[in-house]
Amino acid sequence: MTVPMERARRAAGAPDDPVFPTLKARVIARTGHNYYEDKDDLLYDRLRKRMRVRGLSDCAAYLNLLEGAAGREEWAALEAEITIGETFFFRYAEQFTALRGTILPELIEARRETRRLRIWSAGCSTGAEPYSIAILIHELLGEALADWTVTILGTDLSAAALATAREAEFGPWALRTLDTEERARWFRRTPARPGLPHGGYALRPAFRRMVRFERQNLLSLIDGSDRAPASFDLILCRNVLIYFSADHVNRIVRALGERLNPQGWLLIGHAEPNPTFSQWLQPVALPGTVAYRPSDTPTIEPPPVLIPAIPDAAPIPLAPPAEPISDEPLGQWLAAMPAAPPEPVPFPAAPATDHPLSPGDLLAEIRVLADAGETARAWRRLHEEIDGYATDPALRYYEGLLALDLGREREGERALRGALFLDRGFIMAHFQLGLLLSRGGRRGEAARALDNALRLAQGLPPETILPEGDGVSAARLAESARRVLAGITVSDA
C-alpha cells in the first residue's frame, strides 16, 4: 500500500521544473488542449512518462527534442499520451437511445431516395463510437443495408488510438455495458496476444468495414488547415470539447454546424451544451439529451418506427421466483468458492483514515487509466489504495471489472461478491456477476444473480440511469438480463 506521505506528495503541488511553464504553454498552443491549464500535476505526469521513454531528465531537454529533427514523431506520441481516450461501446446510453429511436430513423427516411448516409465521429479515440454507430445502422436497415451507401468516418488526434481502432479488437473493459448475447452477435473471441494477454473481442467484418479512420486535429477546422471540408448527415463530437478554451469551443461547434447537410444532426457531450450554440444551430430536446440541427431545419412529423433486424428478446416468466439476496456473511460466500491459484487479495481490511483522496477521486483516477487502455496500470493503482477503502462498493465493483479485463476471473468474482456484500442493491454488480457465472457454465448461480438484477431494475422507473452503469437505464438493463436468462433457460431445456 502507498504510504500517506507518498500519496500526499503525488496529490499536491505543481512540478518545480523551471522550464515546465514554457513547455506547458507550447503543448497547449499546439494541441488546443486548454483542459490542462489548471492541471499541472496531470500534465507533468504524462510529460514525465514520455521523458522516461526518451531517456531525458528535464523539461528543457524534452522541449529541445520536440523542436528538433525528431519533433514530428515525438509530438505524435505526446499527443496520444495527453489525450484521455475514454471509450466503450454504446457510451452515453441516453444518446444512443435518441440515435436508435429518433435521429437515425429520421435520417434514413429523409435519405431514402438517395440511399446515402455520411457520418463523422470526431475524436473517436480507439473506435468504439463509430463502430457502435455501424452496429446500430446495420441493425436498423437489416438486409436493406446492401442497397445503401453508408460512410462512417472516425478521426482523432492520436495516431496510436487510430492504429488500435483499425485493428478493431477490444478487451472486456470496452464491452462492459454489453451482455453475453450482444458480445457473441457483434464480436468473436480472439486468442491471447501482446497487449491482450488473456484474449479479446474482434469486431465482426460486417461492422468493421463500414468505418474508415483518419488523423485530424479539430483545430484544423478553424485555423484554415482543413483543406477538404465535407458535409455530413450526422456528426458526433462527444467529450472532446472539454479540452479546448471557450473561444475555441464556439468556433469548432460553428465549423461543425457548417459541415452539416440540410436536416443533419450534431451530438456533443452531456457536459458540453452551451446557449451560445443556438446562434448557429437549432437545439432539439430529446429524452435525456440535447441534439443540434441547422438553424433552417423545418419541424417535421416523427419518422416511422424502424424495427431492428434482430428483435429484442421477449420477456420471459421467471420460475421459480428469484431467491432473495443472500444474508450470508461474506466469509461464508468466499469460503464456498474454489481455491484460486493466485494469492487472494485480502478483504476486507480495516479502513485507513490517513488517505487524502476521496473514493470518488480515486475512482476517477482509475477510470482515466482504464479508459486509456491501461487496465493493468489501473489495477496496480487500485491495489495500492484499496485497503483504505475496503467498505466502498463502487471501488470493489471496478476492482472486479478490471480483474475480468485482465483475465483474473476468480479475483473478479471475489470483488463483485464483495461489492454486493457491501451493497445488496447494487444492480450492476448483480448483472456483471451473472454474466461472469454464465460464461463459466455455472447456470444456477448465474440465474440467481441475473434474477436479482432484473428484480431490482424492474423496481425502478424505466428511465432511471443506474449507478456505475455508464449511462445504462433500468429498462435496458432489465432487457439485457432477460435476454441472458432466456439463453440460460434454452441451454437447460
Q: Partners of 265 in the beta sheet?
A: 234
Output the CA–CA distances (angstroms, integers) from residue 445 to 326, 376, 431, in the order listed: 12, 28, 12
Amino acid sitting at position 181: E
Q: Is 224 exposed, middle or buried (0-12, 13-18, 19+ CB in 10 A)?
A: exposed
State CA 95 to chain mean position distance.
13
Q: Name the catalytic one among 17, 156, 233, 392.
A: 156
Asked if 46 is an active-site residue, the reply is: yes
- Whether omega for the bond prior to residue 308 falls within 30 degrees of 0, making it cis, is no
Strands 169-170, 200-203: pairing is antiparallel
Rounded Cα distance, 206 and 208, in Å: 6
Please tell me whether the peptide bond between 18 and the residue prior to it is cis, using omega within 30 degrees of 0. no
- Concatenating the DSSP letter of every residue in 172-240 gives GGGGTT--HHHHHHHEEEE--BTTBTT-EEEEPHHHHTTEEEEE--GGGGTSS---S---EEEEEE-S-
Please give the Cα distance from 107 to 122 (Å, whole number).
Answer: 19
Nearest to 481 by CA among 431, 433, 424, 420: 431
Amino acid at 334: L
One DSSP character per residue, 361-392 reads: HHHHHHHHHHHTT-HHHHHHHHHHHGGGGTT-
**Does the active-site annotation cover 17?**
no
At 331, the amino acid letter reads: G
Q: Which entry of 46, 259, 476, 483 is annotated as an active-site residue? A: 46
Backbone angles phi, psi at 284, to 5 degrees: -125, 115
Q: What is the CA radius of gyration of the chain?
A: 24
Tell me which DSSP letter residue 6 carries.
H
How far apart CA 482 and CA 315 sit, in angstroms, is: 6
* CB-count burial class (<10 Å; 0-12, 13-18, 19+) for 453: buried
Which residues are known catalytic residues? Answer: 46, 156
